[in-house]
């Protein structure tokens, strides 16, 4: 367990200049418990962070930030499937590369998603037609008050679109410490989403899908190592069919995605782009020129710049389409996570 007083700027992909009173990097459940207890003893706010790829610190954090670096990958198999037990502090994209390097397919559509493995179940990450819940077998959780860990099977995680039980019931006082993945040996490519439909079901390989997904994401999304961002800033809104039909009548080119529930998913990036906001800038924060769903830190943007920009984007979409976008990014105040919608209202 390492302890240092340092900036949060390089601990997050948005690279907003903020500080924490204390930052502790942990590598085991025991060190996580000790760090948590230390913060409670100091009567300070405490926040657990992975790679900071989905957070916006609105101001300096007056307590302890715990960086989760619990690592380790264990692979077992039977005649039909591969099973991976993965520490929450592993890098997600590195896990995807690791699996392919070991002849294990099934994660390739989720390539180049920034962040740690432990964040994957919390928001049920997804891309190009696959969500985390499809490959999840279980999630191991640590109760920081009782110091006991327990396992939730996938059906107990209440997965939904960018949500799970970890955003509600197990949000405070709990930490994801590992996930279990179940990947079938009989591989079936998922190519129905977007440009992946150009690939051949008959001849494509997992590595080719991986390479194409990486290519597409690099074309559309800025690398946070070069340009501060958190990927998709807003969720794709899901609306009832009647609302979708009204928007389709007024804007025939709007892309619509039928959901199992019967509701319709709209492309938030398309809605923002249709408001003419690509490249729109407030202070040093801007809407990305290639993918309007991404808000970027041009250099030395403040959290106030980002909030003002996000508010303009949200209000513009609501005014034109009658749909209120919901932030995907977590907003962190000086003491805790706050309601992002309220912050933008």
- By CB atoms closer than 10 A (0-12, 13-18, 19+), residue 71 is middle
- By CB atoms closer than 10 A (0-12, 13-18, 19+), residue 311 is middle
**3 state SS of 343:** helix
Handedness of CA 52, 54, 57, 63 (dihedral sign): negative
| DSSP secondary structure letter of residue 90 | S
Q: Which ranges constitute the DSSP H helices of 56-107?
A: 92-101
Judge whether 232 counts as a catalytic residue: yes
Collect all residues with Cβ–Cβ distance below 8 Å to 213 and sequence separation of at least 6.
Answer: 108, 109, 111, 112, 127, 128, 196
Q: Which two tokens stand for residue 97?
A: 């590369």
Collect all residues with Cβ–Cβ distance below 8 Å to 342 and sequence separation of at least 6.
Answer: none
Taking the C-alpha atoms of residue 33 and residue 142, their distance in angstroms, rounded to an integer, is 9
Helix 206-220 vs helix 92-101: crossing angle, to nearest 10: 150
pLDDT of residue 5: 58
Q: What is the DSSP string of 122-190?
A: HHT-EETTEEGGGTEEEEEEEETTTTEEEEEEGGGS--BTTB-GGGTTTSSSEEEEEEEEEEESS----
In terms of Cα–Cα distance, which of 82, 81, 48, 77 is closest to 65? 48
- Give phi and psi for 214, each to the nearest 5: -60, -40
In terms of Cα–Cα distance, which of 54, 38, 56, 55 is closest to 46? 38
Q: Which ranges constitute the DSSP H helices of the chain?
A: 29-41, 92-101, 119-123, 206-220, 241-250, 268-274, 303-321, 340-344
First and final C-alpha spacing in the chain: 40
Catalytic residue among 53, 119, 164, 232: 232
Taking the C-alpha atoms of residue 35 and residue 186, their distance in angstroms, rounded to an integer, is 43
Residues listed for the chain: 345
pLDDT of residue 193: 83
Catalytic residue among 131, 217, 328, 330: 328
Please list the pLDDT of the chain residue by residue as tens digits (345 residues): 444 458 999 999 999 999 999 999 999 999 999 999 999 998 999 999 999 999 999 999 999 999 999 999 999 999 999 999 999 999 999 999 999 999 999 999 999 999 999 999 999 999 999 999 999 999 999 999 999 999 999 999 999 999 999 999 999 999 999 999 999 999 999 998 888 999 988 899 999 999 999 999 999 899 999 999 999 999 999 999 999 999 999 999 999 999 988 999 999 999 999 999 999 999 999 999 999 999 999 999 999 999 999 999 999 999 999 999 999 999 999 999 999 999 999
Is residue 229 a contact partner of residue 294, using CB atoms and an 8 Å limit? yes
Q: Is the pTM of this model over 0.95?
A: no
Taking the C-alpha atoms of residue 281 and residue 141, their distance in angstroms, rounded to an integer, is 41
**3 state SS of 150:** strand
Judge whether 7 counts as a catalytic residue: no
What are the angstrom distances between the C-alpha of 104 and each of 47, 143, 169, 205? 34, 32, 33, 12
Taking the C-alpha atoms of residue 213 and residue 81, their distance in angstroms, rounded to an integer, is 24
Taking the C-alpha atoms of residue 68 and residue 145, their distance in angstroms, rounded to an integer, is 17
Question: The tokens 């807003």 sit on which residue?
Answer: 234
Beta bridge partners of 65: 23, 47
Judge whether 90 counts as a catalytic residue: no
Is residue 14 a contact partner of residue 228, using CB atoms and an 8 Å limit? yes
Catalytic residue among 69, 119, 131, 162: 162
């Amino acid at each position: 367990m390492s302890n240092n007083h340092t900036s949060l700027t390089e601990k997050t992909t948005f690279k907003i200049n903020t500080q924490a009173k204390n930052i502790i990097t942990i590598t085991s459940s025991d060190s996580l418990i000790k760090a948590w207890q230390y913060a409670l003893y100091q009567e300070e706010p405490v926040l657990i962070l992975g790679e900071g790829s989905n957070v916006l610190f609105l101001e300096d954090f007056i307590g302890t930030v715990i960086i989760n670096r619990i690592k380790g990958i264990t692979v077992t198999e039977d005649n039909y499937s591969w099973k991976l037990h993965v520490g929450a502090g592993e890098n997600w994209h590195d896990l995807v590369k690791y699996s392919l390097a070991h002849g294990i397919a099934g994660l390739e559509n989720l390539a180049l998603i920034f962040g740690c493995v432990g964040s994957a179940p919390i928001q049920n990450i997804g891309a190009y037609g696959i969500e985390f819940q499809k490959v999840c077998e279980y999630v191991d959780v640590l109760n920081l008050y009782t110091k006991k860990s327990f396992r939730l099977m996938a059906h107990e995680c209440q997965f939904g679109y960018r949500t799970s039980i970890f955003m509600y019931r197990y949000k405070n006082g709990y930490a994801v410490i590992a996930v279990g993945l179940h990947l079938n040996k009989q591989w079936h490519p998922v190519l129905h989403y977007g440009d992946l439909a150009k690939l051949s079901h008959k001849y494509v390989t997992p590595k080719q899908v991986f390479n194409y997904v990486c290519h597409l994401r690099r074309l559309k999304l800025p690398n946070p190592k070069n340009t501060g961002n958190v990927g998709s800033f807003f969720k794709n809104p899901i609306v009832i069919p009647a609302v979708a039909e009204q928007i389709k009548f007024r804007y025939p080119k709007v892309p619509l995605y039928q959901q199992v529930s019967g509701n319709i998913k709209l492309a938030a990036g398309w809605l923002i782009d249709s408001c003419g906001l690509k490249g729109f800038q407030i202070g040093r924060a801007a809407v990305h020129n290639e993918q309007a769903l991404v808000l970027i830190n041009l250099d030395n943007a403040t959290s106030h710049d980002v909030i003002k920009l996000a508010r303009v984007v949200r209000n513009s979409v609501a005014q034109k389409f009658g749909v209120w976008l919901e932030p995907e990014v977590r907003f962190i105040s000086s003491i805790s996570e706050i309601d992002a919608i309220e912050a933008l209202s």
